[in-house]
Amino acid sequence: MTDKFYWGNSVSSMQTEGGWNEGGKSLSVYDLVQAGENHSDWHFANDNYHNYTEDLDLMQDLGMNMYRFQTSWSRLVKDGDGDFNEEGFAYYDKFIDDLLDRGIEPMICLYHFDMPLHLAQTYNGFISKHVKEAFIRYAKEVVRRFAGKVKYWITFNEQNIFHFSESFKISGYLKGERTIEELYQIFHNVMVCHAEISNFIHETTEAKVGGMLAYLEIYPASCRPEDIQAAREVDEFLNISLLDCYAHGEYSRAMMTYVKNIGIDMKASAEELAAIKKQKNDYIAFSYYASTTISAGKIPENTPPNLYLDFGKEANPYIPSSEWGWQIDPLGFRDILNKVYHRYHIPMFPIENGLGVREVWDGFCPIQDDYRIAYHHDHIVSMLDAIQLDGVEVLGYLGWGLIDILSSQGDMEKRYGVVYVNRGNRDLRDMKRIPKKSYDWLKSVIRSNATNIYPSRK
């Protein structure tokens, strides 16, 4: 471990900020979602728009030296393609300064699934070249304003999800038949956006930028050759196709052969492919929470590899699961670090990792979350094994939502934090911050640079 290793926290804007109709912000697709039995609306989140200083103070007390957050496209650009909102830029400018004043390095993510509502309703999101250009315009302006103070960037949260069936939920796509050709068009447009912004950052600033993917470790469900082949194909289409772009500037040959054989029109221009070829990444960022297995026998014939998991996912009987069915696998974390780094030789940066659990505070005593301590301990140790035993270059370790936030489905009761936030899905309560048992444990890990759980091996 080195003194420059980054320890920190990751969030998105809609899961933390609130202030959904304030400060000149226009609507995103999330702002119309109504609260349900097991989820909140997105209007208040943790009210960081009005009061984030307590959370920054907690991060500083923990010893964190990086915070990855998202700038809201809807807060910074009216309707996504209109005038720039100076009040929104002023908000993030002060936010960045307050981070730096506490010795916390900011990392900006430019898109975390919250498409401006106007662009979704009028153009159907990222399937549109107009929306592609609107994003590039927005992102370049954020870089122009903040790259002098923000040295680390990612363009898209979990960019490979745009190659899953989930793409239609996160890209602003509201109407259509959800065809495999449309899926590839969305994936390509998003890749062009990433490439254009990566190129712009490297051409105009001293900052660093990396692509990010959601890496779900997928094992064959058995030693049957068909299961092994299915696991390889899923990895190729959901991960390698994007990683090859990050590292080599080209989609994987397997993916492009499939595109040709099926007759998919990605609507890729020569100029767009040139931008992708030119881009480079200073690190590969990724989220990791769990692993699973895949059974080829469950996948219907002629299913695109991008959709294998929709049919073939199967629980692994050898590892435990969370109450949401996410299978806890620290060794899978080490495996991903190894196979990606040793294939591409680009520094690795895990920027999301954590365990969601339903928790209840009694109003007096800290929550005794030994299960969270065990989860982070085992994943950090696996990461350190990858660094010190396997030779993987890792820049840092950022947990997800380490101060409780709304889950990706808007469920406040699925809690990832080492700090409890006193609100529920329908009752905002007082939003008091209460450190859990894991808070002091994580503080000791960060402040010792993990030598308290993993003494350096010379």
pLDDT digits (tens, 9 = 90+) for 20-68: 999 999 999 999 999 998 999 999 999 999 999 999 999 999 999 999 9
pLDDT above 70 for 457: no
Q: Categorize the per-residue pLDDT at 4 as very low, low, confident or very high, splitting at 50, 70 and 90.
A: confident
In angstroms, the CA 21 to CA 72 distance is 12
Q: What is the pTM of this model?
A: 0.98
pLDDT above 60 for 2: no
Helix runs in 345-458, H state only: 370-388, 437-447
pLDDT above 80 for 99: yes
CA distances from 148 to 153, 205, 206, 377, 449 (A): 12, 8, 8, 35, 28
The tens digit of pLDDT for each residue in 235-262 reads 999 999 999 999 999 999 999 999 999 9
**Known catalytic residue: 271?**
no
In angstroms, the CA 357 to CA 413 distance is 8
pLDDT above 60 for 113: yes
Instruction: Report strand pairing: 313-314 vs 291-294.
Output: antiparallel
What average pLDDT does the segment 206-213 reach?
98
Relative orientation angle of helices 180-204 and 129-146, to the nearest 10 degrees: 30
| The predicted structure's pLDDT at residue 458 | 41
Q: What is the mean pLDDT of the chain?
A: 97
The tens digit of pLDDT for each residue in 297-335 reads 999 999 999 999 999 999 999 999 999 999 999 999 999
What are the tokens at 189?
């447009």
What average pLDDT does the segment 192-201 reach?
98
Do 79 and 118 meet the contact criterion of CB atoms below 8 Å apart?
yes
**β-sheet with 291-294: strand ranges across:** 217-220, 291-294, 313-314
Buried b (16+ CB within 10 A) or exposed e, 364-384: eebbebeebbebbbbbbbbbb
In angstroms, the CA 146 to CA 108 distance is 9
| The predicted structure's pLDDT at residue 456 | 76
What average pLDDT does the segment 183-204 reach?
98
**Known catalytic residue: 352?**
yes
The tens digit of pLDDT for each residue in 352-383 reads 999 999 999 999 999 999 999 999 999 999 99
* Dihedral angle of Cα 406, 364, 373, 424, to the nearest 10 degrees: -10
| The predicted structure's pLDDT at residue 75 | 98
Share of the chain above pLDDT 90, in %: 98
The tens digit of pLDDT for each residue in 347-357 reads 999 999 999 99
Do 333 and 265 meet the contact criterion of CB atoms below 8 Å apart?
no
Compute the Cα dihedral for 403, 20, 30, 119 and give only its sign.
negative
Helix (H) or strand (E) holding 192: helix 180-204
| The predicted structure's pLDDT at residue 37 | 87
Q: Which residues contact 390 (CB under 8 A, 6 or more apart)?
A: 334, 337, 338
Q: How many residues does the chain have?
A: 458
Amino acid letter for position 407: S
CA distances from 199 to 68, 139, 193 (A): 21, 12, 10
In angstroms, the CA 42 to CA 31 distance is 6
What average pLDDT does the segment 76-102 reach?
98
Query: Which of 17, 105, 158, 182 is the catalytic position?
Result: 158
Query: Which of 182, 196, 236, 352 is the catalytic position?
Result: 352
In angstroms, the CA 26 to CA 32 distance is 12
| The predicted structure's pLDDT at residue 401 | 98
Do 242 and 211 meet the contact criterion of CB atoms below 8 Å apart?
yes
The 10 Å Cβ neighbour count of residue 271 is: 8
Q: Categorize the per-residue pLDDT at 3 as very low, low, confident or very high, splitting at 50, 70 and 90.
A: low
| The predicted structure's pLDDT at residue 97 | 98
In order of their start, the domains of the chain are: 6-214+331-447 (3.20.20.80)
What average pLDDT does the segment 438-443 reach?
98
The tens digit of pLDDT for each residue in 424-434 reads 999 999 999 99
